[in-house]
Amino acid sequence: MPTQAKPPRKTGLAHLVAAAGYSAGGLRRLWQEAAFRHEMLGLLAMPVVLAIFGASLTHYVVFAGLALLVIALEALNTAIECLVDHLIKDWAEFARDAKDLGSLAVMCGLLCHALLLIHVIAS
């Protein structure tokens, strides 16, 4: 793979615009993951469920924070998978472990949503 010179560092407003573009690119890449699309369906359904059970504004704010956390965890999990798949083409225990640990992180985020829902239902 040929190497390229590192591009000059952006500062100020140009840095903010570039960072927003990088984040949008990450979201486009993440959308390619079926697991992420499934999680988004669940996250879109959750406010309806919260409304049915009479959730408070605080519950919605906590839900929104947890939703952002799940998106961040799924992005990191996908990044781990991309790197592992690039580094090794065959099966390796470290590759399985890295992917499993990333998956566990996402599951923990989703379980936080389940705990919130249990709390709202019990309230």
Catalytic residue IDs? 74
Rounded-to-integer distance, Cα 106 and Cα 75, Å: 9
Contact 47, 60 (CB under 8 A): yes
Which DSSP string do the residues of 69-81 spell out, in sequence order?
A: HHHHHHHHHHHHH
